[in-house]
Amino acid sequence: MRAAAGVVLGQRYRLVREIAVGGMGEVWVAHDESLARDVAIKVLREEFAGDPNFLSRFRTEARNSAALSHQNIAQLYDYGEQEGSAFLVIELVLGEPMSDLLEREPVLPPRKLLPILAQTARALHHAHDAGVVHRDVKPGNILLGRGGRVKITDFGVSLATNQVPMTATGMVMGTAQYLSPEQAVGQPATPHSDLYSLGIVAYEALAGKRPFTGPTAVDIAVAHVNAPVPPLPAAIDKRLAGIVLSLLAKDPRDRPPSAAQLARILDEMVERTPATGVAVVVPARRSSGRGGTTMIAPGADVRVVPPTQQPGPRR
């Protein structure tokens, strides 16, 4: 099945326009004709339709997402299969991914960063408590909605504790820049792996760059395993720097014991932040000179289709 403007999925979701393209799926704004509301739909890319491995990954994402219900996780509404393809119907978030914010502001002040980290940690705790490890925590999967509400998304490579990884031997799931050392050497991801990835996000936002880089994904993965973490800028609050460095411990046992404890620590730091700096107010990214709000959904850290290339009607 080829996704296109006007195509109706599940006899109720009419595709309106494509907003992002990822390695496995396309993300569309769609209109739910039964409930008269806009939603985001992640559709399996046409070249993967009928492939049992990709269909299995979509089903896994649907099952894992369906187990989660939290104010800081983009809600899964529905799942379906049609003409050999599959699609996920997800809450449409108005705002931008954190990756866009970091492009605009490479270094975030703690008063803006701390609430983002705290909300993300609470979302991860909920997932971990439900037995789901995200395995791909990164700025592109941290959505910044209106009023400062954070929602994490894209459980496409997540793994429930009772599931077996679906990748071939030696294949690693996740994004190299945010990959934990244990994932890099092929060990199973655990909740502590998600904490490490969140630590990379925090380091990047405070230092304006990622701690580990390299010409290839393999080089970056090796650095996660062997290279020491470069010092954070001296101006960073010592307690905050200590938290970030603890998240980036090579040994998972040396990281915070849980996302719940991390969230409590971060919440305490938020409370000590001046009241004028607590709220995270993130202006929606203007995708064209004419203004407007960017609509974001799972996989939004991928190539965003410019408005001039987006099919379908515009609002």
Active-site option among 100, 136, 154, 194: 136
- What's the chain look like in SS3? CCCCCCCEECCCEEEEEEEEECCCEEEEEEEECCCCEEEEEEEECHHHCCCHHHHHHHHHHHHHHHCCCCCCECCEEEEEEECCEEEEEECCEEEEEHHHHHHHCCCCCHHHHHHHHHHHHHHHHHHHHCCEECCCCCHHHEEEEHHHCEEECCCCCCEECCCCCCCCCCCCCCCHHHCCHHHHCCCCCCHHHHHHHHHHHHHHHHHCCCCCCCCCHHHHHHHHHHCCCCCCCCCCCHHHHHHHHHHCCCCHHHCCCCHHHHHHHHHHHHHCCCHHHCCCCCCCCCCCCCCCCCEECCCCCCEECCHHHCCCCCC
User: Judging by DSSP bridges, how do beta strands 37-44 and 93-97 pair with one another?
Assistant: unpaired
Burial status of residue 227 (CB atoms within 10 A of its CB: 0-12, 13-18, 19 or more): middle
The answer to whether the CB of 93 falls within 8 A of the CB of 143 is: yes
Cα angle, residue 103 at apex, residues 39 and 228 outer, rounded to 5°: 115
- Interatomic CA distance for residues 201 and 178, integer angstroms: 7
Question: 136 an active-site residue?
Answer: yes
In the structure encoding, which two tokens stand for residue 168, read together? 């071939």
By annotation, the residues acting in catalysis are 136
